[in-house]
Structures are given as C-alpha cells and as structure tokens.
Amino acid sequence: MNITNINERVKNSNIKNSLSFKLSMVFIGIAGILIVSSMIFIFIIVSKERKEYAEREAENVLISLSTSIRSDIDNYRNVSRLIAYESRVKDFLKATSRDVMQTLKLSEAARLGTLEYLNITNGVDSVFIFRNDLQYMTTHISRQDYHFDLNRMAEDDWLEPLLELKGRASLSLNGNGAIFRGDGKTVLTINRAVYDNVSQKQTGYLFMNISIGFLEDEISQLKNDDICVLTTDGVYLTGNAELAHYYEGVEIPEDIIHKEIEDEENKMILSAMKLQRLPITLLYAIKEEKRLLPMELLYIILLLPMVYFICVFLAGLFIRKNITSPVFALTNEINKNTSGDSLVKIEREFPKNEIGMIKDTYNNMVEHTNELWEKLLENEQTIQKSQMRVLQEQIKPHFLYNSLETIGYLAVDAGAEKVHSALETLGSFYRNFLSKGDREIPLKREITITKDYLSLQKLRYGDIINDEYDIAEDTEECIIPKLILQPLVENSIYHGIRMKGEKGTIKISSRLVDGDLHIIVRDTGVGMSEDQIEKVLSSEQIDTDKGDGLGGSFGLWGTIERIRCYCDKDDVVKIQSEPGEYTEIEIIINMKAKNWRMMNVQSNADR
Amino acid sequence: MYRVMLIDDEESARKLMRASINWEELNMEVVGEAASGIEAINVIDDMKPDIAFVDISMPFMNGIEFTELATKRYPNLIIIIMTAIDQFEYARKCVSLPVFEYMLKPIVRAEVNATLAAVKAKLDEKQVKPEEHTESENAEKIEASTIDQIKMYIEANYTDSKLNLTSVAQHFGFSASYLSRKFKQETGKNFVEYLTECRMNAAMKLAQANVKMFKASDEVGIPDPNYFGRCFKKYAGVSYSEYVALKNLKD
C-alpha cells in the first residue's frame, strides 16, 4: 500500500475525530443550548411581562372609562338638581294637594320646566317628580312606559336612605327597585329628595332615569369589544355579554382586580372595577390572542438569540482562523515530507503562537533528523569504504598481477610454456573476476571469465571436462549481472560431471528472443532430481550453515536469487534435468526492461 | 621492422613481454627498455621507437605524465597504455590523451597480439603513403655558433629532467635527427653523451660535497636514482657511493 492511500484512509477515519468536526459539533451544541435557554428565559419574562402589560392596559382602560362614566353621571346629577330647583317644579311641589288635583296647570308647568333642561341634555329617559302626597309628574323623552311600584316606595328601606342624604343625589338602578321601564331594560336612576330652599322642608322626590345608552356610547367610543358593564349585583347592563358569565357576584373591592381565566373557549385576563359609590361594575377582558407585547421587549427578544448567534459565529471564526485552518495547513506541509529522500523544513509562515511553536519544533526536529540521517549515511559510507579498503588490502591485485607476471617470466625463462599459459589464464581470470566497480558486464566478458575458469579447472581435473560454446553474435554485448555464469558452470562441474566419474561436456549457449536474453548451461552430469530442482528454485531463505538438503548447491541457489533480485521477478530460471543424463539451466533476462539500468550505470560512470 | 620500446618499472614484466610475444612474426623488434619515465626520456631519442608500451604506475614520472610529454614531442609515436585493473579508472581519466589502446595487466598474449596486429596495420598504411621526410635538409643550416648556443642552453637547463634531444631541437626549431647529426659533427660527441656529461660533472661535484645520491640525482635533473646510478657508474667507472667513499679516503 502506498503512502497516499494510507493518508486517504487516515483522513477518512479521522473526519469524525478531527478537531474542526468536533468544534463545529460543540458550536452547534452551544448555539442550541443558548437558543433553547434564551427561549425559555424569554418565555418566562414574556409571560410575566405580558401579564403585567395586560394588567396595566386594563387599568388604563378601566380608569379612563370609569372617569368618563363618573363625569357623565355628575353631569346628570347637576341636571337633576337644576330641575329640582326650577321655579315651576318648585311651585308644583309647594302647591297644596288640592290645587294640584284641581288644576293640571301646575304639573304642566313643571313638565315644561323640566323639559327645558332635558332638551339640552342627552341620554335622559324620563324624569319623575313625586310630591310627598304621592301625586306625581312625569316627563318622558323616550316612548317607553314606566311602571311604579308604589308599595316598594312605601317601604322604609327604600325611603330612608333617600331621606338620609338630605337632598343630595344618589344613584340606583331602576329607582332602587321601584321603577320599571316598559321594555324591561335597566335604567340608572338618580334619586334625590327635594327640599324647599326657604323652609328647608322636604317637599318631594325626584327620579331621573337615564337610559344605559350613555354607557353604550362611552364603550363604543373606546372601540373595544371586551368591555362589559354590570350592576354591582351582577346584572348585565351593556357591552360584551359573554364576559358577564365570568362575574359571579364576587366581592370586588373599590379598586381594580385582575383574574386569569382559562376555560375551553377563552383564555384571558379579566379585570374588574367597581365604581366608587355607584352601583356599577366594569369588566375588561384581554384575551390571549389579543395580548400585546411592548415593543422594547420584542427587540430584546429578537436581539438576544441574534447576539448569541453572532457570538458563537465569531468564536467559530476565531477558532477556525487561528486554530483549525493553521493546523490543516501545518498538516499539509508536514505531509509533503511523506515522500522524498530527506525531510524538508516548513518554509511557510505561521503566526507566532502555539501553532508557530509546533512549526518551529517540527523544523528543529527535521533538522535534527536530517543531521542524524546524514551522520548515519556518513557512518555507513565510512564503514563501507573501510570494508572496501580491507577487501582491497586483502586482494592487492597489483601485487598479485605483478607476481603472476614475474612467475610467468620465470616459467618462460625456464622453458615451461605450459606453466606460463596457466599463469596467463589465471591472471586473465582474476583480472575479470575482480574487476572493480561494474556489477553489470557484457555477456562477452562473462563468457571470457567462464572460459578462463574452465580452462583452469581443466588443468586440475584433466580431460574429464569438455566445453562447448554457442554464443549468438547479437548477445555478446548484452549487459548481465556479473558472475552469474561462472557459478552455474562451477555447479555443473562439482555437482554434475565430477559426481558421474566419467567424461562430460559443458555447453554454454545464448540467444536473443523477443528482447529476452536466454543463457543456457547444459552439462552431461548426474542430473538433478525433481526434489533438488524444487529446492534450488524455491525462493525461501535457506539456512546457509546446513545447506538444507541442497547438497552443497548453495552457490547455485544464491546465484538464482541474485538474478531474481536483478530482474525483479521470480520467473527467471528454468531447470530441466534427467537424472543420470543431463542438467540444463536456462536463465532468461529481459533486456528491454533493463535498458534503463544500463543507462543508469552509464550516467553513474560519467559522474 | 617496427621499433618497440617497453617502459615498465617491473623488470620481469618487461622481460615477459619481450619473451612471450613473437615479435618477428609481427615484423617488430624490441629495441629498448626503460624502467621509469625519466629513463625513457633520456634514452628515447637513441632508440627512435615506433611503438611504446607504457606502464601507468611507475615512480618518479608515471605513465600518464610520460604520455603527456611524449605525445607532444613524438606525434607519430604509437603509445599503448598498460594498467592493472586497480588503476584503470585513473587511466580512463586521461582518455583525452591520444593513446592507441589501454590494455589490462596481467597481459594475455592473445590480447597483445590482437592489439599489435592493429598497430601494424596502422603503421603499414602510413608507410604506403608518400614519404614526407623533406623537412630536415631544408632547414636553416646550423652553424658552429648555433651549436655553442645549444651547449650553453644545455648547461643552463640540464637540471630540467624533461630535457632531451627532441625538446632542445624543438626549442631551436630543428629536426631532432638533423640536430643530432650536426651536434656530433661539431662537437665530436653524441647529444645524449654531452647532456649526461654535464649532469655527471655536476653530480661529481655534489658527490665531493658528500651530498646523498637521491638528492644529487634530483638536483642534476635525473630524479630517478636507479637510472642516475647506472649513468654515474657508466660515466665515472665507479658507483656513486664508491665515488664518495674514495673521495673521503683521499681526504
């Protein structure tokens, strides 16, 4: 698996673990908590505030309504007083009973006097003026009939409170139970006992009936449907009749009370006010859906989550700009080092904060690592060089060659031509065998090495070895790894021909087929068993000490491994054998694939 | 017959070369040997070789230095560099030198024969061409005074180890063979004899002053003390150390 794959995988698996992901999660969480908590907070404030606001509004409405009702009533009172002291009315009251009965003039005059006032006053339904002898005069504005309950009027609890007021006006409903309008509608009655202003004697009673129309007018002026006017006893007068249900004759102080009412139809705040010294109660309902909020509160309500949101957003931006983005950038920079030979420092500028510290630390580490690496490399090279030097010291080719030449001359001088030849071959063999530097050589030279080797071996083993060559001309310059042929020939001698004990032939041939170089070493030795072939071809590491059943063919196995390594594939050697007859080892090296190698070698040599 | 000179500090290598190659078959003969670049410079004008085998690793003046000098002075000389494998890379660095071939030591007869066959073919081809040996006789006639000048030049420059007949001839604008002949006519001595005489006289003086041989050899322009020793013995009849001993005895 290559590095980018790993990176990709790490990246994927890390998305959930990444800081930015976690941070966004945290921010979303914080924003959620803030918004929810502010909602709850706002809800609490709002519901309280709304109630108070509604109550204040109700108070305002009720007070203004009561004030105007009171002023209307004061007005009617004044009118009733003016009527009571009108001269014709006074005359009517002062006259003797007989005069009144005999002539209608007195009552007619009194009616006219009354009408003069009534004509300039709205809302008065009728005026009844009773004399103490219960003769009376009525003045109707509306066309309604009125009935009197004279019995009621005779009762003490009806008369006495009137007399106790000593001429001052009081207000009652339906003449405190003695007057009934023909259509059954309730009327407000201003009652007063009338006194003679000279004699200070009580001369009669005046009842001024005011239709509740004036209340309707007052309410309609407010353009509000949620107002209801009741009597103190709970009798509906005017306004929104629905609200009257909620008034259960509760004792209402002469002040305003608020009550929250919730049933299946309505949810509202009901405010009630009893008018002082008047038998009237006002109800005002602010229904849930009509409840309003003060504007400032609305602004705050809107502002609060927005402020939260902006705060969270800014915090997010801050963290992104100062932490996550630099961390990503840093990671990218560091990732660049996953390829390449030596580590590279991060050149990019980072803010001089903790991120910058990480960068500096990383750069220091890179520097240190590179130093270590260089030191290691240097050490390695020094060791290699010293090892090489030791090897060279051991070999001392110059000394070897000069010695060979010296001995060669001695041989020539002594007429030992064979000795000279053998020394020459040995010299040639070592010259090629030890040739420094090149790990890869042309096949031609490998063949020379092998020939020299074979001719030296022939000197040792006499005539049992016969060698043949069939080298195609176009293969001579093919570049092959050095010393791959000689070990095969060595193997042929020691594990093939010599084991057989009779004369054998080693044939080396080569040919080029489709860019593949085939090198074949065939010997007529004892051959190899299937088992041996398998072992030699197995690419498993073999314990060198034991030889592990290779029967000493370790050199062959090692050579095959070397070729495999060079060609970078396993399928490079074929072995055919018939035990007791022959062994044929074929090496196949692809020349095309190895061209670049030659070029590499060339360019290395040029350097 | 082409003339072959072997320059190698290993005597056995020279002898082997001489003995293992069938020179006559190649129409060649080995006319001389030199054990160092210094010796080669001193004797090359006498031997007039067509072909020189030059070993690279030699003391005092190695094969590369000699080759650089020789290719300037003897443009027709065919040089074959001999090198052991451990100096091959060094030799390759001098690939700009116009040498005929680089050969690996130890020598293999087949390789040497093949190379010499190629050399022979090249030399044969040259000889077929019309001779261009018209230069020397046309050259300015050397007068006695010129020979005096040359003598003075030698006396002033004999400490230069690279000085030889050809370099002097080139310095004065003559051909070497003409100068050699004229020099003999005028002075009755060989050029090389004269140069050696100068150096040996100086060496004797140094010997009288008890200067060590290796120092004396360097000072008189033969920095190879082995060759210097041979020259001295030939000239003075005794070796340098004997000469110093005798002189001390006299005192």
The yes-or-no verdict on residue A401 having pLDDT over 90 is: no
A509: β partners: A470, A520
Report the pLDDT averaged over residues A32-47: 80
User: For residue A261, what pLDDT is reported?
Assistant: 77
- Domain CATH code at residue B19: 3.40.50.2300
Which range, A270-274, B133-137, B235-239, has the best average confidence (pLDDT)?
B235-239
* Contact flag A424-B85 (C-beta cutoff 8 Å): no
When CB atoms are compared, the residue of B20, B84, B109 closest to A401 is B84
Can you read off the two tokens belonging to residue A184?
Answer: 């059954």
Whether residue B122 sits in one domain with residue B14: yes
Taking the C-alpha atoms of residue A428 and residue A432, their distance in angstroms, rounded to an integer, is 6
Taking the C-alpha atoms of residue A354 and residue A351, their distance in angstroms, rounded to an integer, is 8
Check: CB of residue B59 under 8 Å from CB of residue B65.
no
Per-residue model confidence as pLDDT tens digits over A534-576: 888 886 655 554 444 555 567 888 888 888 888 888 888 999 9
Can you read off the two tokens belonging to residue A397?
Answer: 């080719």
Q: Give the Cα-Cα-Cα angle B147, B150, B156 (nearest 5 degrees).
A: 145
Whether residue B38 sits in one domain with residue B70: yes
Report the pLDDT averaged over residues A481-499: 88
Report the pLDDT averaged over residues A95-118: 83
Radius of gyration, CA atoms only, chain A:
65
Higher pLDDT, A178 or B206: B206
DSSP per-residue letters across B198-238: HHHHHHHHHHHTT--HHHHHHHTT---HHHHHHHHHHHHSS
Report the pLDDT averaged over residues A62-73: 87
Higher pLDDT, A55 or A18: A55
User: For residue B121, what pLDDT is reported?
Assistant: 92
Domain edges within chain A: 49-290, 439-606
Of B103, B128, B153, the one marking the end of a domain is: B128
Taking the C-alpha atoms of residue A517 and residue A588, their distance in angstroms, rounded to an integer, is 6
Read off the pTM.
0.51
DSSP per-residue letters across A352-387: TTHHHHHHHHHHHHHHHHHHHHHHHHHHHHHHHHHH
Q: How confident is the model at residue A59 (pLDDT cuts 50, 70, 90)?
A: confident
Contacts of B10 in chain A (CB under 8 A): 402, 405-406
* Contact flag A428-B106 (C-beta cutoff 8 Å): yes
Contacts of A444 in chain B (CB under 8 A): none
Check: CB of residue A518 under 8 Å from CB of residue A508.
no
User: For residue B142, what pLDDT is reported?
Assistant: 64
User: For residue A251, what pLDDT is reported?
Assistant: 61
* Contact flag B86-A397 (C-beta cutoff 8 Å): yes
**Does B90 contact chain A (CB < 8 Å)?**
no
Whether residue B110 sits in one domain with residue B23: yes
b or e along A554-581 (b: 16 or more beta carbons within 10 Å of the residue's beta carbon)? bbbbebbebbbebbeeeebbebebeeee
Taking the C-alpha atoms of residue A426 and residue A404, their distance in angstroms, rounded to an integer, is 8
Per-residue model confidence as pLDDT tens digits over A407-443: 989 998 888 888 999 999 998 888 887 765 567 888 9
Lowest mean pLDDT among A203-212, B34-43, B68-77, B224-233: A203-212
The region, left, alpha or beta by phi > 0 then psi within -120 to 50, assigned to residue A223 is: left
* Contact flag A398-B106 (C-beta cutoff 8 Å): no
Give the number of domains in chain B. Answer: 2
The yes-or-no verdict on residue A94 having pLDDT over 90 is: no
b or e along A222-260 (b: 16 or more beta carbons within 10 Å of the residue's beta carbon)? eebebbbbbbeeeebbbbbeebbebbeeeebeeebebee
SS3 of A139, please? strand
Whether residue B142 sits in one domain with residue B244: yes
* Cβ contacts of A40-48, under 8 Å, gap ≥ 24: A41/A304, A42/A300, A42/A301, A42/A304, A45/A297, A46/A293, A46/A297, A46/A301
Higher pLDDT, B86 or B131: B86
Q: How far is B88 from chain A (nearest CA, A)?
A: 9
Question: If you search the block for the tokens 């060989």, which residue do you land on?
Answer: B190
ipTM for the predicted complex comes to 0.76
**CB-based contacts of A148, cutoff 8 Å, min separation 6:** A128, A175, A178, A179, A180
Q: Which phi and psi angles does A381 have, rounded to 5°?
A: -65, -40
Q: How far is A383 from chain B (nearest CA, A)?
A: 20
Can you read off the two tokens belonging to residue A156?
Answer: 């003490």
Contacts of B13 in chain A (CB under 8 A): 402, 405-406, 409
User: For residue A1, what pLDDT is reported?
Assistant: 42
Whether residue B194 sits in one domain with residue B94: no
**A459-to-A289, A446, A490, A493, A590 alpha-carbon distances in Å:** 124, 20, 14, 13, 35
Whether residue B10 sits in one domain with residue B100: yes
Check: CB of residue A107 under 8 Å from CB of residue A315.
no
Whether residue B171 sits in one domain with residue B85: no
When CB atoms are compared, the residue of B84, B107, B108 closest to A397 is B84
The yes-or-no verdict on residue B50 having pLDDT over 50 is: yes
Check: CB of residue A92 under 8 Å from CB of residue A126.
no
Of B92, B108, B128, the one marking the end of a domain is: B128
Contacts of B59 in chain A (CB under 8 A): none
User: For residue B136, what pLDDT is reported?
Assistant: 45
Taking the C-alpha atoms of residue A323 and residue B123, their distance in angstroms, rounded to an integer, is 84
What is the CATH architecture of A439-606? 2-Layer Sandwich (3.30)
Contacts of B87 in chain A (CB under 8 A): 398
When CB atoms are compared, the residue of B20, B85, B109 closest to A434 is B85
**Chain A interface with B: residues with Cβ < 8 Å:** 392, 397-398, 401-402, 404-406, 408-410, 412-413, 420, 423-424, 427-428, 431, 434-437
* Contact flag A398-B57 (C-beta cutoff 8 Å): yes
Higher pLDDT, A93 or A142: A93
Can you read off the two tokens belonging to residue A457?
Answer: 């071996």
A347 HSE (CA, 13 A, CB side): 2
Q: Which domain holds residue B163?
A: 137-250
Lowest mean pLDDT among A55-69, A279-293, A453-467: A279-293
- A606 to chain B: closest CA residue: B93
Number of H helices, E strands in chain B: 13, 5
Percentage helix, strand, coil for chain A under 3-state DSSP, each rounded to 5 = 55, 20, 25
Of B128, B161, B180, the one marking the end of a domain is: B128
Tell me, what DSSP letter sits at residue A255?
S
The yes-or-no verdict on residue A243 having pLDDT over 60 is: yes
Whether residue B145 sits in one domain with residue B34: no
The yes-or-no verdict on residue A264 having pLDDT over 90 is: no
**A82-to-A79, A87, A208, B223 alpha-carbon distances in Å:** 5, 10, 12, 166
Q: How far is A459 from chain B (nearest CA, A)?
A: 18
Whether residue B141 sits in one domain with residue B93: no
Taking the C-alpha atoms of residue A253 and residue A269, their distance in angstroms, rounded to an integer, is 18
Whether residue B141 sits in one domain with residue B111: no
User: For residue A508, what pLDDT is reported?
Assistant: 94
User: For residue A13, what pLDDT is reported?
Assistant: 56
Whether residue B151 sits in one domain with residue B122: no
User: For residue A37, what pLDDT is reported?
Assistant: 83
3-state secondary structure string, A418-458? HHHHHHHHHHHHHHHHCCCCCCEEEHHHHHHHHHHHHHHHH
Taking the C-alpha atoms of residue A38 and residue A304, their distance in angstroms, rounded to an integer, is 7
**Does B108 contact chain A (CB < 8 Å)?**
yes
Contacts of A392 in chain B (CB under 8 A): 86
Where does A509-594 have alpha helices with state H? 530-537, 554-567
Report the pLDDT averaged over residues A465-482: 90
Can you read off the two tokens belonging to residue A18?
Answer: 């990444």
Specify the pairing of strand A573-578 against strand A582-590: antiparallel
Domain A49-290 has CATH 3.30.450.20: yes
Q: Give the Cα-Cα-Cα angle A113, A119, A121 (nearest 5 degrees).
A: 110
Contacts of B109 in chain A (CB under 8 A): 424
Instruction: Kindly report whether the peptide bond that precedes residue B223 is cis, defined as omega within 30 degrees of 0.
Output: no
When CB atoms are compared, the residue of B20, B106, B109 closest to A401 is B106
* Contact flag A402-B19 (C-beta cutoff 8 Å): no
Report the pLDDT averaged over residues B79-97: 72
Cβ count near B247 (within 10 Å): 14
Lowest mean pLDDT among A337-351, A571-585, B108-122, B214-228: A337-351
Can you read off the two tokens belonging to residue A454?
Answer: 């074979």
Higher pLDDT, A253 or A41: A41
Q: Cα(first)–Cα(last) distance of chain A, in Å?
A: 34
Q: How many residues does chain A have?
A: 607
Can you read off the two tokens belonging to residue B116?
Answer: 């010499």
The yes-or-no verdict on residue A471 having pLDDT over 60 is: yes
The pLDDT mean for chain A works out to 80
Q: What percent of chain A has pLDDT over 90?
A: 8
Reported in sequence order, the residue ranges of B97-251 that DSSP labels E, i.e. its strands, are 101-105
Lowest mean pLDDT among A99-108, B75-84, B224-233: A99-108
b or e along A392-418 (b: 16 or more beta carbons within 10 Å of the residue's beta carbon)? eeeeebbebbbebbbbbbbbbeeeeee
Whether residue B10 sits in one domain with residue B122: yes
Can you read off the two tokens belonging to residue A231?
Answer: 């009597």
Q: How confident is the model at residue A454 (pLDDT cuts 50, 70, 90)?
A: very high
Per-residue model confidence as pLDDT tens digits over A298-355: 777 778 778 878 888 888 888 888 888 888 888 888 888 777 777 788 888 888 888 8
The yes-or-no verdict on residue A184 having pLDDT over 90 is: no
Report the pLDDT averaged over residues A51-68: 85
Q: How many Cβ pairs closer than 8 A exist between chain A and B?
A: 67
* Contact flag B16-A408 (C-beta cutoff 8 Å): yes
Q: What percent of chain B has pLDDT over 70?
A: 88
Higher pLDDT, A512 or B143: A512
Contacts of A413 in chain B (CB under 8 A): 15, 19
- A607 to chain B: closest CA residue: B93
* Contact flag B86-A437 (C-beta cutoff 8 Å): no
Contacts of A431 in chain B (CB under 8 A): 85, 104-106
Q: How far is B18 from chain A (nearest CA, A)?
A: 9
Check: CB of residue B82 under 8 Å from CB of residue B107.
yes
Burial class (CB in 10 A: 0-12, 13-18, 19+), B100: middle
Taking the C-alpha atoms of residue B215 and residue B159, their distance in angstroms, rounded to an integer, is 12
